[in-house]
Amino acid sequence: MSERLAIEGGTPVRTTLLPYGRHWIDDDDVAAVTAALRSDWLTTGPRVAELERAFAGITGTQHAVAVNSGTAALHAALHAMRLGSGDEVIVPTMTFAASANAALYVGATPVFADVDPGTLLLTVDEADRRRTPRTRAVVPVDFAGQPCAYPALGQWARAHSIRILADACHALGGALDGRPVGSLADATAFSLHPVKAIASGEGGVITTDDVDLATRARTFRNHGLSTDHRQREGQGTWLYDMVELGFNYRLPDTSCALALSQLSKLDAWIARRAAIAARYDEHFGSTGSAFRPLDPVPGGKHGHHLYVVRLPRQQWRVGRAEVFAAFRAEGIGVNVHYRPVHLHPFYRERYGTGPGLCPNAEAAYEEILSLPLFPRMTETDVADVLAAADKISRAYAAS
């Protein structure tokens, strides 16, 4: 095989772009949605409660509240925790913008925290460094699918009357010391977006053991009304009270039908993700590899949403942007997760954040790349990723 990189005019490893993540819809999913479409319920119907029971079941929690995105889950949970103006919410900067934006939605201020350089997860030390008398909540992010150190975070948070909202949008199906993600914080937010572990189109779920929090989140997702239309119908009344200002964050029955059908495959899909990640680990695990996987979390069961490698600067003759472009030219749809949130123009211009605030995350950002990882990847797809990685490191890595 010619070694010339595709980006330099050589033959690409593959001719169709392999995406970094992708949903998987089968005939049974189509049948489940079709059944919902033919039922009496298009929006709030029996499948909402069914999905909520299923989520409470797999996460081992008392309550689950379905909403129409992971972002809505974060927003509703912070509202339900009674966060508001004057309150500060500690958010690791290595995340999707929604984790921080949710604090702004409730009138609170996100305070960006740095992450551990090996796992890219928030640590107690980093959180404590950002704590002030106004800190009311922390939103640890289970980056890439690994659970944060919730027992230690919980102890720290209780000592300072801080609530924990886990952003587990990457970590459905994960666990820590045998306890499922979803049960490790005061409340946990999941996303059902198509690139995540299971899909409902758009969708999200909050899990919690706190009945007050769950009730407030349910009211919030339905305009702040104290009952929904099914309850009123059951009680034979038209009366409802709007008790606070809420939103329309309801998840339709059709979406719940898809999520329920997908949920039955979760374990198999996580196992498939883990098998692919293990092949990558094996390939890149040798010391001196120019691709360095993230450190594993002790006692953690990984949700394997992302497979992130670092390209240690001293081991490359080119920068991450060149490596990114070289993968794309080979037909491998690598991505970058994430540009630290505090470096986005919105936060820099409005809140005066910028370089230097979170050095570990900023250094990581210059070196990270997400390789394709999704359950439907074939063995050939995996081999293509590794072939492209080898080809690119032979051309660009420092010898």
Ligand X SMILES: *Cc1c(COP(=O)(O)O)cnc(C)c1O
Contacts with ligand X, residue ranges (CB under 6 A) = 69-71, 95-96, 98-99, 141, 167, 169-170, 191, 193, 204
What is the DSSP code (8-state) at residue 173? T
- Write 278-286 long-range contacts (CB < 8 A, 24+): 279/382, 279/386, 280/307, 280/309, 280/371, 280/373, 280/382, 280/385, 280/386, 283/386, 283/389, 284/309, 284/389
Q: Which is nearer to ligand X, 284 or 338 (CB)?
A: 338
d(CA 85, CA 104): 9
**C-beta of 98: minimal distance to ligand X in Å?**
4
Q: Is 329:5 a contact under the CB 8 Å cutoff?
A: yes
| Cβ contacts of 162 within 8 Å, gap of 6 or more | 90, 131, 135, 136, 137, 138, 156
Q: Which is nearer to ligand X, 12 or 110 (CB)?
A: 110
**C-beta of 83: minimal distance to ligand X in Å?**
17
141 token code pair: 């992010």
Peptide bond into 338 cis (omega under 30): yes
Q: Which is nearer to ligand X, 144 or 385 (CB)?
A: 144
**C-beta of 332: minimal distance to ligand X in Å?**
21
Look at the block and give the residue holding tokens 């339905």: 222
Q: Is 219:65 a contact under the CB 8 Å cutoff?
A: no
Residue whose CB is nearest to ligand X in the complex, by number: 70
Active site residue 265: no
Q: Which is nearer to ligand X, 144 or 386 (CB)?
A: 144
What is the DSSP code (8-state) at residue 257? H
Q: Which is nearer to ligand X, 337 or 391 (CB)?
A: 337
Q: Which is nearer to ligand X, 186 or 202 (CB)?
A: 202
Q: Provide the angle, in degrees to the nearest 10, between the axes of the packed helices 253-263 and 27-37.
A: 150
Within 10 angstroms of residue 394's Cβ, the number of other Cβ atoms is 12
d(CA 271, CA 173): 10
**C-beta of 350: minimal distance to ligand X in Å?**
20
**C-beta of 71: minimal distance to ligand X in Å?**
3
**C-beta of 182: minimal distance to ligand X in Å?**
15
Task: Write down the catalytic residue from 196, 265, 301, 391.
Answer: 196
Beta bridge partners of 66: 205
Catalytic positions are 196
